[in-house]
């Protein structure tokens, strides 16, 4: 059985996804900038915020998986309380970089799952800006080019996840001839360490109000099960799609945090 690569394995949704996959016998290669408390597989410590960090991680994965890999779950992410360059680097270029670097290792039928967010439900309105930014050849030049755009830098998390939705469709099309699927999952508020940052970024009342409305916040388990499904052969006909996993929040509000 070929391994699946999971990023963000040292906390929250990534950690739970790794447990779910390990629980059904999938060999794992985990990537995170922090070492995990426990992890059942090969762990690679890497910083996905730079092209060099992504390349270094991909090289270790290639050495650890000489037969190739069965999938990639891009779960590592940073909230909008981090500097905007970091947010856009990890959430957009980390995802794009790792998919492109690991695609040559992917067997036919492999699957990629990217963590987007339900804050990005209206992503098509930003599609052209996402295309220009997320497909730019040079990461640093792309970041410099948006430095003066307050709409992007002040809402870096939102823009980063709009770009993830864009990249998911774009990469699904790019990899279709190789029979590699690319989908995304868009969670609502999930009880992980990032939630406190979301409260600071989006407003405490809004986030806590969402939890009250839904009866609870999401658990990493709620998201991990859907990521797991998308990685399985049973999801063979699901490609270029996004699955919203938010307890009904976006449906109730029309659009979350809008």
Range 152-187 burial, b when 16+ CB lie within 10 A, else e: bbebbbbbbbbbbbbbbbbbbeebeeeebbbbbbbb
> Given 133, 157, 159, 257, which residue is catalytic?
157
**Two structure tokens written together for 208:** 């806590």
Minimum separation from the CB atom of position 250 to ligand NAI (A): 11
**Nearer of residues 11 and 239 to ligand NAI, judged by Cβ:** 11
**Nearer of residues 26 and 48 to ligand NAI, judged by Cβ:** 48
Minimum separation from the CB atom of position 129 to ligand NAI (A): 19
**Contact residues for ligand NAI, defined by CB under 6 A:** 8, 10-14, 32-34, 47-49, 75-78, 90, 115, 117, 187, 189-190, 192-195, 198
Minimum separation from the CB atom of position 63 to ligand NAI (A): 19
**Nearer of residues 3 and 30 to ligand NAI, judged by Cβ:** 30
Do residues 76 and 32 touch, judged by C-beta distance below 8 A?
yes
CA dist list (Å): 30 to 3, 35, 38, 82, 99: 10, 10, 11, 23, 15
**Nearer of residues 60 and 107 to ligand NAI, judged by Cβ:** 60
Helix (H) or strand (E) holding 30: strand 28-32
Alpha-carbon gap, residue 149 to 49, rounded angstroms: 20
DSSP state of 190: B
Nearest residue to ligand NAI on Cβ basis: 77
> Is the C-alpha dihedral spanning 95, 103, 177, 111 positive or negative?
negative
**Nearer of residues 40 and 109 to ligand NAI, judged by Cβ:** 40
Q: How many C-beta neighbours within 10 Å does residue 197 have?
A: 16
Minimum separation from the CB atom of position 1 to ligand NAI (A): 25
Q: Could you confirm whether 157 is annotated as catalytic?
A: yes
Minimum separation from the CB atom of position 188 to ligand NAI (A): 6
Q: Which residues are catalytic?
A: 157
């Amino acid at each position: 059985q070929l391994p699946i690569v999971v990023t963000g394995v040292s906390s929250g949704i990534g950690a739970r996804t790794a447990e779910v996959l390990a629980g059904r016998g999938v060999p794992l290669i985990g990537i995170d900038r922090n070492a995990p408390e426990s992890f059942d597989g090969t762990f690679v410590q890497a910083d996905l915020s730079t092209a060099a960090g992504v390349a270094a991680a991909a090289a270790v994965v290639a050495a650890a998986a000489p037969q190739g890999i069965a999938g990639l779950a891009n779960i590592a992410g940073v909230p909008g309380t981090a500097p905007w360059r970091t947010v856009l680097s990890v959430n957009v270029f980390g995802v794009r970089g790792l998919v492109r670097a690991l695609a040559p290792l992917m067997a036919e039928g492999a699957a990629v799952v990217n963590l987007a967010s339900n804050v990005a439900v209206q992503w098509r309105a930003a599609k052209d800006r996402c295309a220009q930014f997320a497909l730019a050849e040079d990461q640093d030049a792309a970041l410099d080019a948006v430095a003066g755009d307050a709409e992007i830098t002040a809402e870096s998390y939102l823009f980063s996840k709009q770009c993830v939705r864009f990249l998911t469709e774009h990469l699904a099309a790019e990899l279709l001839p190789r029979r590699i699927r690319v989908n995304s999952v868009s969670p609502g508020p999930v009880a992980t360490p990032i939630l406190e940052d979301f409260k600071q970024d989006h407003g405490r009342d809004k986030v806590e109000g969402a939890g009250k409305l839904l009866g609870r916040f999401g658990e990493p388990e709620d998201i991990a099960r859907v990521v797991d499904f998308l990685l399985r052969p049973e999801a063979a006909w699901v490609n270029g799609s996004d699955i919203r996993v938010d307890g009904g929040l976006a449906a109730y509000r029309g659009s979350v945090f809008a």
